[in-house]
Amino acid sequence: MLLVSTCVLTLTHKHDKQIPPVHVNLAEVSVTTARVYSEMLLVSPCVRSSVLTLTHKHDKQISPVHVNLAEVSVTTALVYPEMLLVSPCVRSSVLTLTHKHDKQISPVHVNLAEVSVTTALVYPEMLLVSPCVRSSVLTLTHKHDKQIPPVHVNLAEVSITTALVYPEMLPVSPCVRSSVLTLTHKHDKQIPPVHVNLAEVIALQKPIEAKVWAVPVPVFDCGKEVSEWFNNLLGRPSSTFRLVYYATQQPRLLRSSTNRIYKFTKNDTGALPDETPFNLINEASVDDLNTRLQLTDRVSHRSFRPNFILQGALPYAEDNWKFLKIGNVVFEILKPCTRCVLTTIDPETGVRNPNTEPLETLKSYRQIEDPEVRRSAGNSPRMGLQLTLRSAPGQWVTLDDPIYVA
């Protein structure tokens, strides 16, 4: 049953009073239609037994999405008027939520292109988890098993800053000589370089804790001057971000979910990267990708931020490799590198590609085929390899070293 009163839509079940009504403030609804995004016309909806399935009419590489409508519980400002103080902004598929008045509350950024939805259709155990948010703290509890301790997440403290959110970081060029880190801006010579003596940082600072994907890591604070330099560059208050330096020779701890599919060892994570410290791109694969792109959308290997660039192989031959030897240094290939919207930002200028390329083209032919891996990666396409060191540390890799594969 539908009932509309003073711009509030209320949905109730005619017979089952156990189903609570749902309220929607229509005055607050911002509608997006196929007039704005004509791609929506290619989406085919189907509802069976309260499960909504969305499929692409033509592109079978795009996995269907399932939503159990019986489980959808809508919370609006009718219940929590504090939500009216949250200001959303979407730019190049990144959603930013900020508080309109309280600047002490840090903004939260969500890369919508990377969101992979897992529902109780896949993991019915999720139905037993009860979420509760109070004063920006999310608490997850098990509805029945009190032996499972609750988990608390301070949403106000969750902030990972990368060039996805601040592409202005891409023109920053780092250089280390004799333990002195120098940061310069590639294009704007009006911005003076800043220097950090890393040996002094290690000698004078005590390690503090930061987090990478919720895993605690020890770091040194590199000081006020360089942090202010970055904040000025990004147009943020001087206390917003701090530049830190990894404070140990040991790799950081593994995420609890890391080995669900791929077999990392405790030495494979490196310091601060997402997954592994080494990434390789096959130049022939980039060349093949460019044959599929419009001239104005073509890219170089720099869009994929590799440590190593391989020449002389066939396009995508790397898909079947297990090990690499560069010179005398052996690496194991742990996984393909799945790509995000950072590939759509020009690494030289920091400007986003208006056609979301090369990511959209990669999605059309470089999807992971294994169903279990695909559930984890979502629609992120593969391009390049994630490597980890298998030789003893301390050896050298140089330009033009021969590369052997197995």
Residue-wise pLDDT for 230-256, tens only, equals: 999 988 888 788 999 999 988 888 876
| pLDDT higher than 60, residue 122 | no
The one-character DSSP state at 188 is -
> Domain map of the chain by residue range?
1-31, 35-72, 169-246, 258-405
For residue 26 the two structure tokens come to: 């229509």
- At 67 the pLDDT is 78
Distance between CA atoms of residues 76 and 24, nearest Å:
7
Q: Is the pLDDT of residue 197 over 90?
A: yes
The model's pLDDT over 348-388, given as tens digits with 9 standing for 90+, comes to: 888 889 899 999 999 999 999 888 888 777 888 999 999 99
Q: Are 364 and 253 in contact (CB under 8 A)?
A: no
pLDDT band at 16 (very low <50, low <70, confident <90, very high): confident
Task: State which fold the 258-405 domain adopts.
Answer: M1 Pyruvate Kinase; Domain 3 (2.40.33)
Element (DSSP H or E) covering residue 203:
helix 198-204
- Provide the pLDDT for residue 207: 92
Tell me the β-bridge partners of 101. Answer: none
Instruction: Summarize pLDDT for 293-350 with one digit per residue, the tens.
Output: 999 999 999 999 999 999 999 999 999 999 999 999 999 999 999 998 889 999 888 8
Distance, in Å, from the CA atom of 182 to the CA atom of 195, rounded to the nearest integer, reads 5
> Predicted confidence band at 103 (pLDDT cuts at 50, 70, 90)?
confident
Where does residue 316 rank: exposed (0-12), middle (13-18), buried (19+ CB within 10 A)? middle
Sequential DSSP letters for 11-41: E--SS-TTS--EEEEGGG-----TTT-GGGG
Q: Could you give the CA distance from residue 122 to residue 68 in angstroms, rounded to a whole number?
A: 11
CA 271, chain centre distance (Å):
17
CA 234: distance to chain centroid?
Answer: 20
Q: Could you count the other beta carbons within 10 Å of the beta carbon of residue 58?
A: 9
For range 9-21, the mean pLDDT: 81
Distance (Å, rounded) from C-alpha 239 to C-alpha 380?
Answer: 34
% of the chain at pLDDT higher than 70 = 82
User: CB 68: neighbour CB atoms within 10 A?
Assistant: 15
pLDDT in tens, 82-101: 777 888 877 655 778 888 88
